Amino acid sequence: MDSLIINGKNRLGGTLCVHGAKNSALPVLAASAAVGGECVIYNCPDLSDVRATIRILNGLGCFASFENGTAVCDSRLLCENEIPDKSMRELRSSFIFMGALLSRTGKASMCAPGGCEIGMRPVDIHLSAFEQMGITVSIENGRITCEAPDGISGAQINLSFPSVGATENIILAAVKAKGFTYIRNAAREPEIEDLADFLNSCGAKISGAGDSTIVIEGVDSLHPCEFYVMPDRIEAASFLACAAVTGSTLTVQNAVPEHLSSVISVFEQSGCIFDCSDKIIRIKAPQRLHKMKTIRTMPYPGFPTDCQAIIMSMACVANGTTIINENIFENRFSHAGELNRMGADITVSGRIAIVNGARNLYGTSVRATDLRGGMALIIAGLAAYGQTRIDSVCYVDRGYEKIERDLAAAGADIRRESNGRVKSG
């Protein structure tokens, strides 16, 4: 198990480049299984989740590879429509393969994704939409089998919640359905637009992605394409938070400022000054952050739940009290306990966290419990006096590509240790 060792209080500087978005790359890779040709996907981040998805594609009979940020997937010889339980347990978001395999083969089977560290993660919205599209859903011994014996039919679907995964799965199931599919109250995240852009590049007819109503006209077939994954807005926000807590001036490159409007406005409340242009965000942080107004996580374009943990670390060292309301997931405050071990003063009650800005944080041994919570601990370690040791960074590696290499290049005193031995970047 790897650990990260951080000696805090270094000022950061220079430029950090944002990698491709994990939450776009994963659905786009799954979608390549529906295409039936060789797709080339550039700007894929080198993450354990991406490599797990490549393994799943190969397990389905595709020829998939990943090297130097480029994934190639030839799905012509796809011959399976079942995802092994082990793969689902390793990567619960593989449930996105359900829509892709239904579209390609008319049948798909995998175990229910089950819960994870941040919540139960049900898939009822996905399944009820599938049933509206003429897909039969059977659940036996925890295994979900979806089948469209008479083909998939377009439908009018109103989502009870703008679920990102459900919106993606419905789009995938609808691309070759008979007729039109309308998704109302669809998720509006930029990653949805990226998936639609990929599929339209493969000959699909999807309009309205990024808005709350998406229309998919079923086509007879798809063809392969070359695609460039959008920048990771959550990684960009994470880099900005590293600058915010260390009083730094930092340039974040390959980021899309428009994707971060709600996040930047919260950072500005804390006293950070921004200079944004096409794909560049420059942040100048104050010596001491101010408290922020109550933060409520919401579906896009509201404040993203994936930035909740990182903003909590900022609130820990801000002047005054910040209230955080986590509206999306029911168990996404596990990082609060670890932050309190560093001297933070956080009280959690249900979906509300009250953060009294501590004068200082102090390094100690902490443990990541989920992806974004792990990043929150790194941010806190950069702000803390003394040395912080963060264990279970495997969680962080799911969503950040060699984070210690980038932060060290920006001036942080951070290194990775594997079983007590320093690991080069």
Interface positions with ligand EPZ (CB under 6 A):
22-23, 26, 93, 119, 121-126, 161, 163-166, 187, 305-306, 328-329, 371-372, 399
Give the residue with the Cβ less far from ligand EPZ, 160 or 418. Answer: 160
Give the residue with the Cβ less far from ligand EPZ, 255 or 358. Answer: 255
The least CB distance from residue 120 to ligand EPZ, in Å, is 6
For the question of residue 111 being annotated catalytic, the response is: no
The least CB distance from residue 273 to ligand EPZ, in Å, is 28
Give the residue with the Cβ less far from ligand EPZ, 172 or 285. Answer: 172
- The partner residues of 15 in beta bridges, in order of sequence, read 251
Residue whose CB is nearest to ligand EPZ in the complex, by number: 165
The least CB distance from residue 30 to ligand EPZ, in Å, is 10
Give the residue with the Cβ less far from ligand EPZ, 134 or 399. Answer: 399
The least CB distance from residue 360 to ligand EPZ, in Å, is 28
Of 102, 114, 94, which Cα lies nearest the Cα of 78?
102
Residue 326 has phi, psi (to 5 degrees) of: -90, 105
Give the residue with the Cβ less far from ligand EPZ, 241 or 289. Answer: 241
Give the residue with the Cβ less far from ligand EPZ, 19 or 126. Answer: 126
The active-site residue out of 39, 44, 111, 116 is 116
The least CB distance from residue 165 to ligand EPZ, in Å, is 3
The least CB distance from residue 328 to ligand EPZ, in Å, is 5
Query: Which residues form the catalytic set?
Result: 116
